[in-house]
Structure 1
Amino acid sequence: MTQSDMKTTLKNKIGKLSLGLSIGFIILFIFRLTTEKEETVVATPIFQQTESLESNLEIRKNYATKRHSVALGQAPMLVDQKYEKIADIQSISTVFDRDEDQLRKYVADYNGLIQFENKNGNSGYRSLNLTIGVPPEHFDAIYQQLIQIGTIQAKQITKKDKTNEYKELRAKKLSLEKIRTSLINLKAEGGRIEEYIQLENRILEIEQQLQALGVSLGNFDEENEFCTVKFSLTERKVTHTDLSQRIISAFLWTLSTYLQLMTVLLLIAGFSYLIVSTIEKLRKK
């Protein structure tokens, strides 16, 4: 083969290689351009104010009762367990109005009660925080529906036993009632004015404590049993990308990806060449 033929062959190989690389680049570019989204979601900060706002308000605590059958000897005995069950759900939405309507519909469908609501922000950057009281028998069903709203960022369910707390409140109430009865009996016996006033003040203090206990115990009443769902919905603004921006973005991504791919291939080829060369030298020796 003459030197001229070798040059021609080399040019042909370089031309075919360049053509192949160009075709690969074009295919990768077209793939990126067709798969790149025309709409992008703009990240906006999430303002979690629910806990701080709730702490400043008197919001009813939600408790529920579950009856367990315990075998004591031959006769089974029903034992009531008082518990608190809370679901925390955080979601983002690009169709805020639609998702809010769906959320409120689920609350109504499952006989829920909105106990706390905070809504703020302008269009595109709104947030909605709800604390919902849900009948215990509907808790699991409404939870499965709510986690379908928007794009869920976080979710969890917490269950705490409150039986001992309930028993302590009842015992404290009984103790205060006994003290109040004793003080009322002492007041009926008469005495000095100073002692009478002290008894009246003490009885008044006990009455106030009993009222507070009555509110706390009222949360445990089976007639008002609820589980809690805390739902946070945050709006994300959608921006539309025009064709020229998409082309530039796709080209830059393709160039970066292609260079990385070629670098990896060259490293593999070089490493393979070194291995083959080493094996050949060992064989010759």
Structure 2
Amino acid sequence: MKSNFVKRFWRISRWFLAFFLLLFSFRFLYGYVATDTGRASAVSDYFSGIDGLRKNYASEKRGEVFAQMQNSTPQTANTQKYEKTATVRARTGRFEDDNQRIRRKVQDAKAIIQYENAFGLKGARELHLLVGVTPESFDSFYLAMQKIGTVQSMSVIKEDKTNEYRQLNAQKASLQKTLESLVELKSKGGEISDFVSLHDKILEIESRLQDLGVQLGNFNSENEFCTVRLSLYEGAPKKDVSLLHRIKVALEWSIEYFCYSMAGFFIVILSVFILILIMDKLKVMGIINRD
């Protein structure tokens, strides 16, 4: 009988032990997931929610000769237009010093700060800069920014804009032809209402030509820049949590919630036991009443 009791005890204990290990494993793995999520949110992409930022384009001579479109210039036939954007997000405990270091690097690279936003109270300040850098200085400036504070994330994206540039030129040529035709029609006779309608159409095309001129102006050789987006967050970088600390936290949490679970389990068992006793009493009372 004693042997059967010991076997039952160990059989039940294995179930409780398995439940405890399940709690421990869950909390231990959750510690890694929660830490990674917290870090990702701390260095979210600030510039992704900003519209209307300056677009920078650069040119690169290509050995391959592209097929020329109608009215395109020979200079664009073998030149690639591209947009190159680097993003660096860093955290620093020396916000003022690193802020000055960034501005000195901007001056050394003869770059231009095209957008700036600094906000927050001391201890939790943020600095966001969009810097236009010449293509020749892009790589060195990008590497210099990686030495500011502790880098949390970085990336470089290069997009070909040659087709977009050609399409803008083609649209400009088409609008210029249309404008010339309308101006020629204006010199001919007609009713006043026709002249008014024609005048409005000419103004509309001239406005579209101005917009195209602004877009094409970004592709001009004197405006050739690459973009570096820099986000600097104040505060010491979070240190990696040690394995022993993770085990300690997971163990404390597992013991606490294991005790809660066991208390709930015994309350349920006790409630069921009391309910069974009440039902048995009611059955006995029913038998006595029938007799």
TM bin (shorter chain): 0.5 to 0.7
| Structure richer in strand, relative to its length | 1
Task: Report deviation, 1:71.
Answer: 7.2
Partner of 1:135: 134
Residue 92 to residue 68, structure 1, CA distance change in 2 (3 Å):
same
Verify: 1:69 aligned to 2:63, yes or no.
yes
CA contact (8 A) 1:90 1:233 kept: yes
CA contact (8 A) 2:83 2:159 kept: yes
Cα distance per residue 1:203-262 (max 9 Å; x no partner): 0000010000000000000111000000000001599xxxxxxxxxxxx96x969x9xxx
The unaligned stretches of length 5 or more in structure 1 are 1-42, 240-251, 260-285
Partner of 2:206: 207
Partner of 2:153: 154
Calculate the TM-score normalised by the size of structure 1. Answer: 0.64
User: How is 1:1-285 mapped onto 2 (pairs within 5 angstroms)?
Assistant: 45-46=42-43, 48-52=45-49, 54-55=50-51, 58-70=52-64, 79-236=78-235
Deviation beyond 2 Å, 4+ runs, structure 1 = 43-52
Task: Report deviation, 1:47.
Answer: 6.5
Percent sequence identity over aligned pairs: 42
CA RMSD of aligned residues (A): 2.9
Matches of 2:168 and 2:237 in 1, distance apart?
52
The unaligned stretches of length 5 or more in structure 2 are 1-38, 67-75, 239-243, 252-291
Cα distance per residue 1:159-209 (max 9 Å; x no partner): 000000000000000000000000000000121001000100000000010
Matches of 1:46 and 1:136 in 2, distance apart?
27
SS at match of 1:220: coil
Cα distance per residue 1:42-93 (max 9 Å; x no partner): x8955654333x31xx432100000012379xxxx97100000000100000
Alignment: residue pair count: 198
SS at match of 1:69: coil
Matches of 1:204 and 1:238 in 2, distance apart?
57
Residue 170 to residue 90, structure 1, CA distance change in 2 (3 Å):
same
